[in-house]
Amino acid sequence: MSDCGSGSCSTGSCSSDKDRLPPGMLSVYDLNQQTGLGTLVWAETVKDENGMKIHPAVLEILGKIKSISDDRVFAMITGSVEIKPLYKILFEHGVDTIYHIRDKSMETYGPEAYAECLADLSSRINPMSIIIAGTTRGREIAPLVAATLKTGLTADCTELSMEDGKLVMTRPAFGGDLLATIICDKHPQMATVRPGVFSPSEPAEGRSGTVISRPFKPKILKEIANEQKVPDDYDISEAKILISLGNGIKDKSTIEIAEYVASKIGAKVSCSRALAEKGWFDRSRQVGQSGRTVSPDIYLAFGISGSSQHMAGIRAKKIISINNDPDAPICALSDKCIIGDATEILKAMKRSLEQ
Amino acid sequence: MIAFLSNSESYDIDESKSRGHSEGVFIPENSEDIKEILKRARHEKFQLTVCGNRTGVCGGCVPNGGYVLSLEKMDRILGIGYDSGYYIRVQPCVTVRQMGDALLTKHLGNIEDLTEGAFQQFRDDHKKYFYPIDPTEMNGSLGGNAATNASGPRTLKYGPTRNWVCGLDVILTDGTELYIPRGRYFAKGRHFDVDIDGYRLVLDIPTYDFNTDVKNAAGVYCKDDMDLIDLFIGSEGLFGIFVSIDVRIIEWHPLISNIMFFPDDQSALNFISDMKKECSPEFLEYFDCGSIDLVRRSYSCDPNIPAPPKERCSAVFFDLADEDEYNTISEIAERYGGSLDNSWCSSDRRDREAMFRFRHSVPQAIFEYVASLKGHMPGIHKMGTDMSVPDERSDEMMAYYKDVLDSHSLEYVIFGHMGNNHPHVEIILKDMEDFAKAKECYDLFAKKSIELGGSPSAEHGIGKIKTDYIAMMYGEEGRRQIIELKRKLDPSMILNIGNMVVP
Amino acid sequence: MKIAVMIKQVPDSKLIEIDENGNLRRDGVPAMVDPFGFFGLRFAVKMKELLGGTITVITMGPNQAVEALKRCLEYGADDAVLLSDRAFAGADTFASSRTLAQSILDGDYDYIVCGMQATDGDTGQVPAELSVMLGFQLVSYASDLEIDDGKLFIKQNYGDTVRKVAVDKGTVISVSREIPGERPFPSIREHINAKNKPIVTKDRVALNLGAYSTGMKGSFTKVVKTATPIPVKKQSTIIDSSDPEVGASELLKEVNQ
């Protein structure tokens, strides 16, 4: 093809850069519009005392994808032979094709490397959308991928649906005071999903798919001086029962009582934003819009008024609030509302359990 | 159905950490509820102690038996009016902070126009407004502020709450609700005989001389030909229950908050003394080395309290409207070992709020310390002075504090409104022996401050813990006159008995 | 060594309310520097203490955003740039990053420091997108830094692991935690001196950006609807527990089921 010079070519625009449009042309004609199909996900893995597993948040997004679309699902996974038992899980949760990235240099997480790989895979597969669980690492690589592919990304979605082939994404803004619904007009459409919001689907026993082994040498590798696991990871997101303390708890010594009761009934202790800000609890124990989203069977809210930002983090089967103010917003939002002194009730529970 | 809690343990205490006892707490939502409760109290002959947010430091809202009446549900801003300046009507449990935030954002909710078009006019007005009385306890209720005539650092420039209350809606113990605006009902000499919308009020007010030359919150305010509203302001709940309070607000101007650190106590005091003469700060707050040490010890892990410098130092906290004064300030500071480099400074609202929190952390550390002692010393409560003296006697009073406390071997910190010659001397009690000695010292201080022409209760009020001061200041006759006035307005003697005077 | 710190001016979220119609009241709410962006500034100040150099603080916003920049100048930045143009409005993170990237290329910076996320959009995407557009490396969740043998190391906190990485020039750092400064506030001297520090304003043309690179025109995502979340009301049973034993036994019954 001959050199086009600067823009006044009658065969149309050869530039994909929106800034350099021929005179009179209003927007770029994007051939990519309708051909993307399927969803690409990053199957993040975590290691716990039982070995490697798929991060629970990934199973959540797979469940959601299955409910909104019948198209093919592709997953990228890294690691070596210890990953093989996980194929089954991915297939059972709806993945059709697994791209297992096999390269020594890809076994340690590096954001640029993983993003480059995912972007490269996306160019190859040409999916309609890329959906990544909004875990700490997911939220790091998703925008790297989006910027590399020059497409839009909607972060921390709490709702997804499909309308006329377009992914409709809803996310909270302004600390949760507002819900914004967003669409993307470029392909692939990208979203990260807030963990704890969706539920995994029932695994389809015996379902299988294809595994493609793929080599990949990343351009950028991180110079990691050292890496350590954080000990005592008190994780409230897996708890079946949560005892949650709020600003109505005036005395810090109540925390000890709550921890005791929790240990006896198989619960964990979480808190509202106010107590995290006071320094009574680490941020990782905070439930709410700017904290964690939790989905226990029972959520016991002691001395919590029930602001919308706090309630946004609770997807419990049953909410019981313990408060001395019957007009607190949380009462209308709970299954049971116990009116009384939260600290005294915890003390009474402790006495009962001590016997 | 008026809300009632039989377990009122958390209502039996205020910030002085003195603990009382009660049979339960009523939580009314409006005037009708309050009148109903008063009726029951009169008929069934039980005591009522009224409380707001219980941030008082003299036990004013601590019950000695009977029931508590908590105004916590009455916490809305009701209306705004304009009368050569804006004024806001609030229910008693609106807090200082709540009002400050609402005025700043102009998000006042659905409030009434007290004069035609006032709310719209306020919203359209580009200027900012604020309420200048800023007790460092920002969770205090405005009802409580009015009942105790509260002050804050800004009282140096703006006077106490009394100067800003222009209307009161009060329910007397017989159930009558009266609206008393400022400027309508006056005494003739020391005698009131007024008709308030058909209700005739005849009263004799005490004849003692209420000191207004210094900051004074001791006793019932009384003056010849006084305004009736001033009888209720600072009356510590003896004469009626406030249902709404009208306060004036003024135009806000940008201020810069500054805290400067000095090598020792006397340098800071000298700096303050010169500042009063050569500059015009909004207020001047003093922290001795001991109080800064206390903050350092108590709040090193609290992310909300800014950390003071590591080396031992005293501090002066002041707000400035005019940046040009910094040249003079720099000069004065350098006379006494301070400098513009060893300071904190900000005009940002949140930073300034943090500095105010720092200021408040000193008394707060002491409250919490005393609270921790209550476990094994149930009779203990905070012992803080609240004495003010005229300018020219200030050095003498400071020297007297130190002499008396040192000779009693007591540990103490001194901080507070040096602008008004009104520092708080807080004794760090270790045991009941210290507590007894402290009471002795405070008696001496009280007498000395009166001798020097000042007041032993400049801003905290009398409550239940300082009732001795009334006779000290006004004699047995003065005390008797207050009790008589109380009996006139509360014949059944059901309301807040034990505040100010013990009948 | 030149450091650029990216901040945003956001409304003070503690004062934002919802009005009777369910709409967000943003009017009259005072503004502040976004908290994580402020952590970024603190981080950069520590870098400057260890490595020397200058700090430029950059923000994209309306003219009022100058107040946020002034605050940063008081807290240790040396100069400031305001990117302001109506054409920047309505930008999604890609368009914002594009605009910010252009201003960075303009100034030739070695390190870019950002806060993890701003409190209005809460997306946390800009630092990563900037790194791709600039061809820089990305170090996220930065919680601390140190110099070892002349080399800069940054501690990253991923929640389940903590990582220490070596960092060279040409890195975007996204900060998740505040490293307290020597003083909690600027001194009076720093406050006065900040008034002399330069603030430059640049618009789209000054940045050499095309009309389709910025703002809504340069965005790939758009908001089609906003709503205030409606909490799910339940038919709750109310239990009077003025006697704490009542509440306690009720709760113990619930959790044993």
Convert the pLDDT of each residue in A252-268 to its tens digit: 889 999 999 999 998 99
Task: Count the residues in chain C.
Answer: 257
Q: Name the closest residue on chain A to residue C235, using Cα atoms.
A: A335
The CATH number of the domain where B412 resides is what?
Answer: 3.40.462.10
Interchain pair B340, C242: CB under 8 A: no
Q: Give A15's pLDDT tier (boundaries 50, 70, 90).
A: very low
**B and C: number of Cβ contacts within 8 A:** 75
Nearest to B58 by CA among B471, B401, B386: B386
pTM, rounded to two decimals: 0.81
Sequence-separated (6 or more) residues with CB below 8 Å from residue C74: B346, C186, C190, C191, C194
Is residue A315 in some structural domain? yes
Q: Which pLDDT band holds residue C22 (cuts at 50, 70, 90)?
A: low
A317 and A173, same domain (yes or no): no
Alpha carbons A286 and A306: distance in angstroms, whole number: 14
What is residue A25's predicted lDDT score, i.e. its pLDDT?
Answer: 60
| Final residue in a domain of this structure, among B425, B451, B477 | B451
Question: How many alpha carbons lie under 13 Å from residue B275 in its C-beta half-sphere?
Answer: 29
Residue A29 pLDDT > 60, yes or no? no
The DSSP symbol for A230 reads P
Q: Which of A281, A322, A341 is the best mutation test for B, with the most CBs of B within 10 A?
A: A341
| The pLDDT value given to residue A14 | 41
Please tell me the distance in Å from B8's CA to the nearest CA on chain A. Answer: 10
**Residues B432 and B387 reside in one and the same domain:** yes
Residue A2 has pLDDT above 50, yes or no: no
Does domain C2-224 fall into CATH 3.40.50.620? yes
Q: Are C188 and B340 in contact (CB under 8 A)?
A: yes
pLDDT at A16 over 50: no
Nearest Cα to B279, choosing from B234, B236, B240, B318? B318
* Whole-number Å distance between alpha carbons of C121 and C127: 14
> Above 80 in pLDDT, residue C232?
no
Residues B275, B236 within the same domain: no
- Domain-located, residue B480: no
My answer on whether B231 and B311 are in the same domain is no
- A119 and A49, same structural domain? yes
Q: What confidence score (pLDDT) does residue A11 get?
A: 41
- Specify the pLDDT at position A176: 73
* Rounded Cα gap, residues A19 and A11, in angstroms: 18
pLDDT for C20 beyond 70: no
Mean pLDDT of chain A: 87
Q: What percent of chain C has pLDDT over 70?
A: 92
Q: Say how many domains are in chain A.
A: 2
Q: B388 or A22: which carries more pLDDT confidence? A: B388
Tokens standing for residue A230: 């954080």
Residues whose CB falls within 8 Å of the CB of residue B314, separated by 6 or more in sequence, listed in order: B261, B262, B263, B264, B265, B267, B268, B286, B287, B288, B289, B292
Q: Is the pLDDT of residue C159 over 70?
A: yes
The rounded distance, in Å, linking the Cα atoms of C155 and C143 is 6
User: Is the confidence at residue A1, as pLDDT, over 60?
Assistant: no
Q: Looking at the structure, tell me whether residues A74 and A210 fall in a common domain.
A: yes
* B88 and B235 together in one domain: yes
From the list B306, B345, B349, which residue is nearest C30 (CB)? B349
Domain of A169: which CATH number?
Answer: 3.40.50.620
- pLDDT value at position B304? 82
Supply A114's token pair: 């993983």
Domain ends where: B434, B451, B468? B451
Q: B351–C242: do the CB atoms touch at under 8 Å?
A: no
CA of A80 vs chain C CAs: smallest distance (Å): 20
A174 plus A79 within the same structural domain = yes
* CA of residue A156 relative to chain centroid, distance: 7
Q: Is B203 on the interface with C (CB under 8 A)?
A: no
Pairwise CB contact (< 8 Å): A222 & C137: yes
Residue A18 resides in a domain: no
| Residues B326 and B433 occupy one common structural domain | yes
Residues 6+ apart with CB under 8 A from C183: B309, B344
pLDDT of residue A32: 46
Helix %, strand %, coil % of chain B (to 5) = 35, 25, 40
CATH number at residue A251: 3.40.50.1220
* Structure confidence at residue B179 (pLDDT): 96
Q: How far is CA C227 from CA A170, A177, A185, A333, in A?
A: 10, 9, 21, 19
Domain identity same for B241 and B275: no
Q: Do residue A284 and residue A138 come from a single domain?
A: no
Boundary residue ending a domain (B431, B451, B471): B451
Residue % of chain A over a pLDDT of 90: 59
Which residue range is the domain that position B441 belongs to? 256-451
In a mutational test of the A interface, the residue from B6, B7, B107, B364 whose CB has the highest number of chain A CBs within 10 Å is B7
Contact C128, C171 (CB under 8 A): no
- Closest CB to B340 among C32, C189, C243: C189
User: Which of B345-354, B417-426, C10-19, C58-67 shows the lowest per-residue confidence on average (mean pLDDT)?
Assistant: C10-19
DSSP tag of B255:
-
Using alpha carbons, list the distances in angstroms from residue A298 to A301, A302, C256. Answer: 10, 13, 11
What pLDDT does A223 receive?
86
Total domains present in chain B: 2
Residue A246's domain comprises 236-354
Strand, coil or helix: A1? coil
In this predicted complex, what is the ipTM? 0.90
Per-residue pLDDT of chain B (503 residues; tens, 9 = 90+): 888 888 888 899 888 878 899 999 999 999 999 999 999 999 999 999 999 999 988 899 999 999 999 999 999 999 999 998 999 999 999 999 899 889 988 888 889 999 999 999 999 988 889 999 888 788 899 999 999 999 888 888 888 999 999 999 999 999 999 999 999 999 999 999 999 999 999 999 999 999 888 888 899 999 999 999 999 999 999 999 999 999 999 998 889 999 999 999 999 999 999 998 899 898 999 999 999 999 998 888 787 889 999 999 999 999 998 889 999 999 999 999 999 999 999 999 889 989 999 999 998 888 888 777 777 777 777 777 889 999 889 889 999 999 999 999 998 999 998 888 889 898 888 888 888 899 899 889 999 999 999 999 888 889 998 898 899 899 999 999 999 999 999 999 999 999 999 98
Distance CA A158, CA A171 (A): 5
Which segment, A136-145, A201-210, A216-225, is predicted with the most confidence on average?
A136-145
